[in-house]
A and B are shown apart, each in its own frame.
Chain A
């Protein structure tokens, strides 16, 4: 009993220490940002993003810093990252909109069909854990019910259809959870980090179909050596050099 308590306290202390260290760097970076020393701010935010690689807030602030440095490519990349881990980050999406509006010769996005939009909104990455917990909860409830029932400890009769329904809902939530979770770990999107990056129809081709402006977000569908197959915001598919892209 006493050993367990000590162990719990130790874990808690470690967590708080890690949090405090993170916060010190965070405060330092924010201070540099407010003093308009953006280069230093970038350094500390980047350091922080290594220790907390899925924290939307860090990427959001880093995006702002790059925006102030007029580095639209990095700014877009970091706002996209912030939105990847927290799709409900309103400020990040506003700032991303603003950053993208500063791209010259921007490729206009084709609007997605409504059900894809719905599917995306119900499989938002930040919903993954919610789905997972609900699914597990329903499943455990069902198991507990049947266990008790078998042991003659309760005398409630659940209709078979209802328990089957609960099981199906649980499975659906597991699927949604997996899809959402995959959005967190997926690396199928990238940002063009170089102005006028050539876009070709064949990998290794020297004749560029068009020049893609810095800050454009593309979908990565295939990779072949130093070449990446991408889908542009307007739906065109082609190849770009891997060196001009940064994955979100």
Chain B
């Protein structure tokens, strides 16, 4: 980005502090009478004025009667003298010289010149009458000079003549010099007359704070300069300020007591993007400067002119030593500028701070209030204000679950470039709904660092509401998973009881014992039951087998009781013997034993009626004896014998 600025300026520069003195504006010609083939020099000199805007005669008027052979040559001089009040005073003069040749003979008039100052004053010089004759009347200047005796001549006139000759010599010299190589020693002198300076308004800034840098050309001599290289601005975001279009008007500035014309070539706002010491590289310019040169060093001049007035301090003055003009190629380079960039303060820095520095406002708008899941909605954030607009990071959008957004589209617009860089940043977030529902889009915080107060300012946008209906392409599951933007948080609270869970029960011995134990129990039950059944069959036969023995045993007891003549126990024993025998033999439980079912059972076993009667008689005898109580010993032995007989007979008939 090398912007070239063309400057073509041939301007009268200088005019240092001239005192308030009378302005003298005069015109002087080198001759009052001349031949048509001769040349004449006319010099307009203005003294004791400042800020001359325009100086010189009307060229149209001048060229009516004269050919302009040379000029205008402008020179300036100043002299310091002690005025009549005993003060040091400075006198300034500017002169303009033309070399003229008349167009025709007769009494002609060299027209007056007009000078205009910046203050608006206009001055007019005198006009000079001149008589032009045919041919040439002027002798060769040097010869003429030689023949004159300086001591008899008017010294001033002699000086003027000398000057005329000197001007011609200078012109010659200038022509020669152009062919020669420029002398470097003389170029160095320009450093104070013509230079470029990069001016920054601040040297110590925060990251992102605006620095205004101006590239200024300081000149005290006429020049034609192109900017060849602008500083590379690494580490900065730059925006150029608007410059007035067309002609660049200089401003006067006094540097170290010297008055300069200052041209602002370029003005930029710089926003540092990194901390540390940043350096603005030098700006460079190339061009040509018109140099006003003192000729005192010229040997010819010293001999011819210097020798004349060598001892006279007046004539050693600038004005009289006078000048030549040279176009000198120049290369200008500014000195580099260092800028200290500090980081923004950590104190009070908001969490979501996005690097904005300056002064801003924020606005948000949602383009639709109600959409379907097939649509998208745009959330537009407009950050406007002045500062490092382009460097502001887009704020992070925190959307509720079910809404997603992608990277926002960002448009930066710079609108103002007068003293600060201002404009707007439009950030457009495209929001895609995943699931239907009513959503609250939370307010978006935006913070900037205010350089004036040195504090962070946080602004919040208005929260918005969005209604989402189910669209045609809505798929419940597909969208659920994508809606997740961050992992679910950890589970806290009490560690669930699953902490104690280890192996699945199916792989444990304990579990399989749940099958084994009931199964074995079942098998056990089956076996026991079978044996029980078999056992219960055996008991019947045993009872039957043992019935006789038991009966006989009881009868033996009864016999013993008979011998003791104990009536009641005897009958009881006999009764028991018979009843128990029948119970066992007929397989009738004692509880249900009665005479009726005994007779039924006996009948079913084909026992004859006599047997029955016999049994009944013994039972009756026993009962009678037990409850009536009257019986003798003889009857007791009779009953005993009957009982034995009945049991043995029954035994026989059962076996049969």
Instruction: List the interface of chain A (C-beta within 8 A of B).
Output: 15, 18-19, 22-23, 26-27, 30, 33, 48, 51-58, 60-61, 64-65, 67, 85-86, 91, 94-95, 97-99, 125, 128-129, 131-133, 136, 139-140, 143-144, 146-147, 150-151, 174, 177-178, 180-181, 184-185
B307 CB within 8 Å of chain A: no
Contact partners of B494 in chain A: CB under 8 A: 23
B251 CB within 8 Å of chain A: no
Contact partners of B505 in chain A: CB under 8 A: 128-129, 132-133
Complexed CA–CA distance, A124 and B481 (Å): 22
* Given the contacts A64-B490, A97-B484, A54 and B502 also touching, CB distance less than 8 Å: yes
List 12 other contacts, CB 8 Å, given A19-B499, A131-B506, A132-B506. A19-B497, A26-B495, A27-B492, A64-B487, A65-B490, A86-B498, A97-B484, A132-B504, A143-B522, A177-B506, A180-B504, A181-B506
Contact partners of A132 in chain B: CB under 8 A: 504-506, 511
Contact partners of B504 in chain A: CB under 8 A: 125, 128-129, 132, 177, 180-181, 184-185
Identify the closest chain B residue to A141 (Cβ): B518
Instruction: List the interface of chain B (C-beta within 8 A of A).
Output: 481, 484, 486-492, 494-507, 511, 514-515, 518-519, 521-522, 525-526, 529
Complexed CA–CA distance, A58 and B498 (Å): 10
* Contact of A147 with B496 in the complex, beta carbons under 8 Å: no
Identify the closest chain B residue to A178 (Cβ): B506
* Contact of B499 with A52 in the complex, beta carbons under 8 Å: yes
Identify the closest chain A residue to B486 (Cβ): A98
* Contact of B492 with A54 in the complex, beta carbons under 8 Å: no
Complexed CA–CA distance, A136 and B514 (Å): 7
Contacting residue for B518 out of A30, A64, A133, A143, CB 8 A = A143
Contacting residue for A185 out of B486, B487, B495, B503, CB 8 A = B503
A219 to chain B minimum Cβ distance, whole angstroms, is 21
* Contact of B495 with A98 in the complex, beta carbons under 8 Å: no
Identify the closest chain B residue to A137 (Cβ): B514
* Given the contacts A132-B504, A132-B511, A174-B506, A95 and B487 also touching, CB distance less than 8 Å: yes
Q: What are 13 sample pairs from A and B whose C-beta atoms fall under 8 A apart?
A: A19-B500, A26-B495, A33-B490, A54-B502, A55-B499, A60-B490, A64-B488, A64-B490, A125-B504, A151-B525, A151-B529, A181-B503, A184-B503
Which of B488, B519, B529 has the most C-beta atoms of chain A within 10 angstroms of its own C-beta?
Answer: B488
Complexed CA–CA distance, A61 and B526 (Å): 55
B483 to chain A minimum Cβ distance, whole angstroms, is 10
* Contact of A22 with B499 in the complex, beta carbons under 8 Å: yes
Contact partners of B492 in chain A: CB under 8 A: 27, 30
Contacting residue for A99 out of B487, B496, B525, CB 8 A = B487
Complexed CA–CA distance, A51 and B501 (Å): 11
* Contact of B495 with A147 in the complex, beta carbons under 8 Å: no
* Contact of A55 with B496 in the complex, beta carbons under 8 Å: yes
Complexed CA–CA distance, A98 and B514 (Å): 44
* Given the contacts A23-B494, A146-B522, A181-B507, A64 and B489 also touching, CB distance less than 8 Å: yes
Identify the closest chain A residue to B495 (Cβ): A26
Complexed CA–CA distance, A85 and B491 (Å): 16
* Contact of A94 with B484 in the complex, beta carbons under 8 Å: yes
B134 to chain A minimum Cβ distance, whole angstroms, is 102
Which of B487, B492, B511, B518 has the most C-beta atoms of chain A within 10 angstroms of its own C-beta?
Answer: B487
Contacting residue for B525 out of A129, A150, A180, CB 8 A = A150
Identify the closest chain B residue to A136 (Cβ): B514
Contact partners of A27 in chain B: CB under 8 A: 492
Contact partners of B521 in chain A: CB under 8 A: 143, 147
Of all A-B residue pairs in the complex, the 9 with the closest CB atoms, nearest first, are A181-B504, A128-B504, A132-B506, A91-B488, A143-B518, A61-B490, A95-B487, A177-B506, A26-B495
Contacting residue for B506 out of A15, A22, A48, A129, CB 8 A = A129
Identify the closest chain A residue to B488 (Cβ): A91
Complexed CA–CA distance, A85 and B282 (Å): 70
Contact partners of A33 in chain B: CB under 8 A: 490
* Contact of B522 with A185 in the complex, beta carbons under 8 Å: no
Contacting residue for A30 out of B484, B490, B515, B522, CB 8 A = B490
Complexed CA–CA distance, A48 and B499 (Å): 9
Complexed CA–CA distance, A128 and B496 (Å): 19
B519 to chain A minimum Cβ distance, whole angstroms, is 6
A43 to chain B minimum Cβ distance, whole angstroms, is 15
Contact partners of A65 in chain B: CB under 8 A: 490
* Given the contacts A55-B501, A136-B511, A139-B518, A23 and B506 also touching, CB distance less than 8 Å: no
A143 to chain B minimum Cβ distance, whole angstroms, is 4
Identify the closest chain B residue to A19 (Cβ): B499
Identify the closest chain B residue to A91 (Cβ): B488
Contact partners of A18 in chain B: CB under 8 A: 500
Contact partners of B490 in chain A: CB under 8 A: 30, 33, 60-61, 64-65
B120 to chain A minimum Cβ distance, whole angstroms, is 75
B532 to chain A minimum Cβ distance, whole angstroms, is 10
Identify the closest chain A residue to B497 (Cβ): A19
* Contact of B506 with A57 in the complex, beta carbons under 8 Å: no
* Given the contacts A147-B521, A150-B529, A184-B504, A57 and B515 also touching, CB distance less than 8 Å: no
Complexed CA–CA distance, A179 and B481 (Å): 29
Contact partners of B501 in chain A: CB under 8 A: 54-55
B261 to chain A minimum Cβ distance, whole angstroms, is 63
Contact partners of A147 in chain B: CB under 8 A: 521-522, 525
Which of A15, A53, A57 has the most C-beta atoms of chain B within 10 angstroms of its own C-beta?
Answer: A57
Complexed CA–CA distance, A22 and B494 (Å): 10
A202 to chain B minimum Cβ distance, whole angstroms, is 36
